[in-house]
Amino acid sequence: MKQKAIFYHAGCPVCVSAEQMVAQAIDAERFDVEIVHLGESKGRVGEAEAAGVKSVPALVIAGQPYHINFGASIEALK
């Protein structure tokens, strides 16, 4: 079964760069990658926070948060 990888972003330039490079580099054979724009899907901010996401862009793999560079704090997206 594929593992879930969720890439949270907010459309910022730092986010777009990370999405194009890091999120796209993930092996789609082993991971089910979902891209979530928290600016457009504010209803999912809570889920990201619960996974430990403090800023975007961030990648949550198997429930663990990995913050990639710094675009915006999650507080700024509420």
Q: Which of 56, 59, 74, 77 is in the footprint of its own copies by CB under 8 A?
A: 59
- Note the residue count of the chain: 78
Instruction: Give SS3 for 25.
Output: helix
* Matching residue, tokens 């990370």: 18
**17 or 44: whose CB is closer to its own copies?**
17
Q: Does 26 bind its own copies (CB under 8 A)?
A: yes
Separation CA 52–CA 49 (nearest Å):
5
Q: CA 39, 40, 46, 51 torsion: positive or negative? A: negative
Q: Does 40 bind its own copies (CB under 8 A)?
A: no
Least CB distance to its own copies at residue 42 (A): 24
Contacting positions for its own copies (CB under 8 A): 5, 17-18, 21-22, 25-31, 59, 61-62, 64-69
